[in-house]
Structure 1
Amino acid sequence: MLRTIARGVLAGLLAAAGLAHLFWLRRGFRIAVPPWATRLLHTDEDMIVVASGAAELVLSAGLVALPRERRRAGMAVAALFVAVFPGNVHHWATGVSAPGLRTDRARLLRLFLQPMLVAWALWATAPERSR
């Protein structure tokens, strides 16, 4: 029961973040994209923000709509959280304000939140134990 609630909340947060990446906070999220990422992926900051938003929406839907693939969806969500971590480090290191992260303290706390998000995704999608 608790995992089901945690999964639903996680799916909701991913959906909200995905929509924010695609629409109302898209411009602000470009700040967190490290310059090396655009060179590595041969694209621009906007495309990376759009792709991450789309990934968040797809993974959110997968958590809810694909119960038989729940574990794989959880691993994919955890992998996304790991993949965006370098952007969070870049954002903290540069000290540039972005939506919701206007202070050095907020940007630093975001770094510590990321491992908790990874753990949440893995725990919420782990198989239920029989009693």
Structure 2
Amino acid sequence: MKNFIQTTTLQKVFRILLAIFMIYAGFSHLTFNRIEFQSQVPDWVPVSKDIVVILSGIVEMILGLTLLFWKKQRVNIGWLLALFFVLIFPGNVAQYLDGRDAFGVLDSDRARLIRLFFQPVLIAWALWSTGAWQARRISKK
């Protein structure tokens, strides 16, 4: 599979927005939203919730920065970011099932349920904006 695919201006804009979002989210994991993010870590995870939040914040910042600056690996970064979104999804489900409030807006079952539907959007956003889907289609030809 090709690691570099030409993308449109719209894809580039959305890739930059996603990168900024990831860097911001990662920074917030380490600072002002640290406790809030701990509510998303399922109780069955055998590691300290704080460590999970710190490590996931670092990973988010790295993914965001590489998405901005490592052009030659953009397709692979898109797949890694999509995988990251899949891996953190159980935390969102656990937050919904356990009824844990967070961020001042996830304060009802309805709000937490609606949030679950945004995870596939983030996955698609990562794959589309990096050209990962396009690269996959080309490699299958």
Whether TM exceeds 0.5 here: the answer is yes
Q: 1:111 and 1:2 mapped to 2: Cα distance?
A: 25
RMSD: 1.4
Residue 94 of structure 1 corresponds to which residue in structure 2?
98
Q: What amino acid sits opposite 2:25 in the alignment? A: A
Ranked by relative contact order (alpha carbons within 8 Å, sequence separation 6 or more), the top structure is 2
Q: 2:56 and 2:115 mapped to 1: Cα distance?
A: 17
CA-to-aligned-CA distance 1:23-42 (integer Å, 9 cap, x gap) = 000011111100111x2xxx
Q: Establish whether residue 71 from structure 1 lines up as the match of residue 81 from structure 2.
A: no
Residue 56 of structure 2 corresponds to which residue in structure 1?
52
Q: What amino acid sits opposite 1:65 in the alignment? A: F
Q: 2:82 and 2:93 mapped to 1: Cα distance?
A: 17
Q: What amino acid sits opposite 1:106 in the alignment? A: A
Matches within 5 A, 1:93-112: 93-99=97-103, 100-112=105-117
SS of the residue corresponding to residue 36 of structure 1 reads coil
Cα distance, 1:104 vs. partner? Answer: 1.3
Residue 125 of structure 1 corresponds to which residue in structure 2?
130
Seq. identity, %: 40
SS of the residue corresponding to residue 84 of structure 1 reads helix
Instruction: State the TM-score, normalized to the length of structure 2.
Output: 0.85
Q: 1:8 and 1:67 mapped to 2: Cα distance?
A: 12
Gaps of 5+ in 2: 1-8, 136-141
Gaps of 5+ in 1: none
Cα distance, 1:106 vs. partner? Answer: 1.4
Residue 30 of structure 1 corresponds to which residue in structure 2?
38
The structure with the greater share of residues assigned to helix is: 1
Q: 2:107 and 2:59 mapped to 1: Cα distance?
A: 25
Q: 2:116 and 2:29 mapped to 1: Cα distance?
A: 19
Q: 2:115 and 2:59 mapped to 1: Cα distance?
A: 20
SS of the residue corresponding to residue 102 of structure 1 reads coil
- Largest Rg, 1 or 2: 2
